[in-house]
Amino acid sequence: METSVRVLCNSNIAGGFKIQKDVSLPVTYVRSAEDLLKDLGGNPPSARPVLAFFAGGIHGYLRPILLQHWSEKEPDMKIFGPMPRDPEGKAKYRELMKSSKYCICARGYEVHTPRVVESIHYECVPVIISDNYVPPFFEVLDWESFSVFVLEKDVRDLRNILLSIPEEKYMKMQRRLKIVQQYFLWHKNPVKYDLFHMILHSIWYNRVFQVKSE
């Protein structure tokens, strides 16, 4: 294990994930096996009236704090627990992601969450609240150019943090998000630079780094 490149969803530095050796595996949902790109994309920035959106299971220590401070507190903060998983509930979930400027990616029991990739799919700037989390493809992607990182201890100040981001900076992040989206897509037959190739690139990159280090 010491010399192996581990590919982990739970890319937690505090849990033993080693940067420049291990690989962070994106957590993704496949909505439709027949149409892997179904519902891809979202509303333009001018049609995103919601400042921030989150919905999900309330597990781990952080999510109860998120709901305590922001559920039903501000009209532009759509912060919920689990939404219904019937077709209508899933459609509402997608529409909220497509209509929000920022999508909250708060850790649960573990540091990873599928909302990171979901946010990218729906062109909603990810707000990652997960200390010690190493995002996928960090070797080649500048995550701070298309997402926001908030410390877990600062969740109580979440709205002020988001409102303090200038509109021009948000627009740049949203544009860059649409550019990197191609790296997080599955295809039935792999396409150059898609998720399949990016995972293999991360493994190759870290293996080469190991060899050079040795």
Q: Give the model confidence (pLDDT) of 117-126 as tens digits.
A: 999 999 999 9
What are the structural domain ranges in the chain? 7-213
Mean pLDDT value of segment 94-110: 97
- Check residue 200 and give its pLDDT: 95
Picking from 126, 106, 115, 107, the residue whose alpha carbon sits closest to that of residue 177 is 126
- Phi, psi angles (nearest 5°) of residue 125: -60, 120
Of the CATH numbers 3.40.50, 3.30.1150, 3.30.530, 3.40.390, which one belongs to the domain with range 7-213?
3.40.50
- Check residue 93 and give its pLDDT: 97
Note if the pTM is more than 0.85. yes
Q: Exposure pattern of 11-24 as b/e (b: 16+ CB <10 Å)?
A: bbeeeebeeebbbb
CA dihedral (201, 106, 31, 120) positive or negative:
negative
> In the chain, what is the straight-line distance between the N-terminal and C-terminal CA atoms, in Å?
15
Angle at 100 between CA 99 and CA 105, to 5 degrees: 135
Name residue, tokens 């909603």: 124
Tokens for 24? 């962070």
Lowest mean pLDDT of 20-29, 41-50, 162-171, 177-186, name the range: 20-29
Question: What DSSP string runs through 147-208?
Answer: -EE--GGGGGGHHHHHHTS-HHHHHHHHHHHHHHGGGG---SS--TTSHHHHHHHHHHHHHH
From the DSSP assignment, how many helices (H) and strands (E) are in the chain? 6, 7
